[in-house]
Chains A and B, each alone.
Chain A
Amino acid sequence: TQLLEQSPQFLSIQEGENLTVYCNSSSVFSSLQWYRQEPGEGPVLLVTVVTGGEVKKLKRLTFQFGDARKDSSLHITAAQPGDTGLYLCAGAYGYGNKLVFGAGTILRVKS
Chain B
Amino acid sequence: GAGVSQSPSNKVTEKGKDVELRCDPISGHTALYWYRQSLGQGLEFLIYFQGNSAPDKSGLPSDRFSAERTGGSVSTLTIQRTQQEDSAVYLCASSSQPESATEAFFGQGTRLTVV
Chain A residues close to B by CB (< 8 Å): 2, 6, 30-31, 33, 40-45, 48, 50, 86, 88, 90, 92, 95-104, 106
Contacts and interface: CB of A to CB of B under 8 A. Distances in A.
A31 B107 CA distance: 22
A96 B98 contact: yes
A99 B33 contact: yes
A47 to B, nearest CB: 10
Nearest to B9: A40
Interface in B15-59: 31, 33, 35, 40-45, 48, 50, 53, 56
Nearest to A32: B101
Given A45-B103, A96-B56, 10 more contacts: A42-B93, A42-B106, A43-B104, A45-B104, A88-B43, A90-B43, A92-B101, A97-B99, A99-B33, A104-B42
Interface of B: 4, 31, 33, 35, 40-45, 48, 50, 53, 56, 91, 93, 95, 98-99, 101-109
Contact of A40 (B33, B42, B108): B108
Contacts of A100: 45
A96 B31 contact: yes
Nearest to B4: A42
Contacts of A95: 56
A31 B98 CA distance: 10
Given A33-B103, A42-B91, A96-B99, A101 B108 contact: no
B101 A30 contact: yes
B33 to A, nearest CB: 6
A30 B99 CA distance: 9
A48 B98 CA distance: 12
Given A96-B48, A96-B53, A86 B40 contact: yes
A48 B103 contact: yes
Contacts of A45: 103-104
A43 B106 contact: yes
Contacts of B41: 103-104
Given A42-B108, A42-B109, A97 B40 contact: no
Contacts of A101: 35, 42-45
